[in-house]
Amino acid sequence: MTILPVEPAFRLPDQPEDKRWMVEDLWLEQAVGIIGGEPKCCKSFLALDIAVSVASATPCLRHFAVDKPGRVLLYAAEDPLHVVRERLYGISAAAGVRLENLDLEVITAPTLRLDLGTDRTNLAETVAAIRPRLLLLDPFIRLHRIDENASGEVAPLLAFLRELQRLYNVAVILVHHARKGAGRIRGGQALRGSSEFHAWGDSNLYMRRDGNDHLSLSVEHRAAASITARTLNLVRRDKALALELVAKEPQGSPAGKVLSLDERIIAALSTAQPRPLADLRANCRARTATLCERLNAMAAAGRIGKSGDGWYLLPLS
C-alpha cells in the first residue's frame, strides 16, 4: 500500500503578491486558460501581444505590467508563418522592442494534434527541452480531430496541458472560438463545445465586438479578483499593427471622447512626484519613440520639465 503525500494546511506554500502575476491583472503565473471569442475578434493579436510582453518584460497592451522576461513557445496552427512573423514585428514595434532580441520560439511543424500520443510526447519533450515560461497554442480547433462537444474526449486533452503546466512550471494559453451569435452570453459559457473549457481555465480572457466596432476585453480568474472590461482597438501606426487600449475619459468629460497622447501625458504627470519614462510609457500606452517625441515637444513648449527622477508638470504661466 502506498500512502499519498500530505501536509498540514498551515504549511502549504504561500505565493508573494509580486510573484503572483505573469501579466498583471491579465494572467496569473503558471496559469492555464483560454483566450476566447468569435471569429475575427483579434484573439490571436491579443495572444501574440501577451507573448511579446512576456518575452520582453514590457507592458502588455502598453498597460499591464510584466515583472520579468521569460521564454515563450508558440504554435500558430492556423496562420502561415510569414503572417505570424509580420504580426509579431508589428506588435514588437508598438511595444518599442526589436523582435530579433526576444526569447520567442515558434514551432514550425506543419501539424500538431493533441489527440495523438506521438504528438503529445513530442510537445512534452519540446517543452522539457526549451523550458518556456509561456506555452501558447492557437487555435484549439486545429490541434485535434475529436468531438469538442464530448466532455469525455475534451477532458483528456486539457488534462495533458495541465500536466505540462505542473511538470514544467509553464503557463499555458489556449486560443479557442466562441459560438457564433453568443455575444449576449457570459464569456465562459459562450465558448464552443464542452463546458470543460470554461472549468479548466485559471485565467480566461474573452474578446467581443461591440456595436461601435470597438473590441471589448473581459477578464476572469479562478484565484484573483477580475478587473472591469476594457475597450480595445486594432490600430496601425506607421508599419505597426497592434491592439491598443481606448483611454478612459476623465470624469465630467464629453461622453465618447478618446484622450490624445498629450492629454494622457498631462494626466499621468498630475501627481506631485516626477515620473520616469518607463512609468509614463506603461501609463500612457504609447510607443517609446512616439512618447519621447511628444515629451520633447511639450518640454520645448514649456508645459513639462525633466529632472534626474523623471518628467514633471511645469506651473502654468
227 and 241 Cβ atoms separated by less than 8 Å: no
Scanning the structure block, which residue is given the C-alpha cell 500530505?
6
> According to the model, what pLDDT value does residue 157 have?
97
> According to the model, what pLDDT value does residue 271 have?
67
> According to the model, what pLDDT value does residue 16 have?
65
Give the three cell numbers for residue 34.
Answer: 483560454
- Identity of residue 23: V
> According to the model, what pLDDT value does residue 258 have?
56
Q: Which pLDDT tens digit goes with each residue over 187-226?
A: 677 898 999 999 999 999 999 987 656 899 999 999 998 9
Per cent of the chain over pLDDT 70 is 90
Task: Provide the 3-class DSSP secondary structure of residue 125.
Answer: helix
153 and 147 Cβ atoms separated by less than 8 Å: yes
> According to the model, what pLDDT value does residue 23 have?
96
Q: Which residues of the chain have pLDDT under 70?
A: 15-19, 181-187, 211-213, 247-259, 271-272, 316-317
> According to the model, what pLDDT value does residue 53 have?
97
191 and 34 Cβ atoms separated by less than 8 Å: yes
What's the start-to-end Cα distance of the chain, in Å? 83
295 and 311 Cβ atoms separated by less than 8 Å: yes
Note whether 18-245 and 261-313 share their fold.
no
Considering the entire predicted model, what is its pTM?
0.77
What CA–CA distance (Å, rounded) separates 198 from 202?
9
> According to the model, what pLDDT value does residue 112 have?
97
Domain with residues 18-245, CATH architecture: 3-Layer(aba) Sandwich (3.40)
Scanning the structure block, which residue is given the C-alpha cell 472549468?
199
What CA–CA distance (Å, rounded) separates 182 from 309?
49
311 and 274 Cβ atoms separated by less than 8 Å: yes
> According to the model, what pLDDT value does residue 145 have?
95
What CA–CA distance (Å, rounded) separates 258 from 246?
7
Task: Provide the 3-class DSSP secondary structure of residue 241.
Answer: strand
CATH of domain 261-313: 1.10.10.10
What CA–CA distance (Å, rounded) separates 161 from 108?
19
What CA–CA distance (Å, rounded) separates 316 from 11?
57
Q: What are phi and psi of 72, to 5 degrees?
A: -120, 135
59 and 282 Cβ atoms separated by less than 8 Å: yes
Angle at alpha carbon of residue 76, lines to 138 and 79, rounded to 5°: 110
> According to the model, what pLDDT value does residue 203 have?
97
Give the chain's radius of gyration (CA, Å).
Answer: 21
Domain ranges (residues) in the chain: 18-245, 261-313
Give the three cell numbers for residue 235.
Answer: 490600430
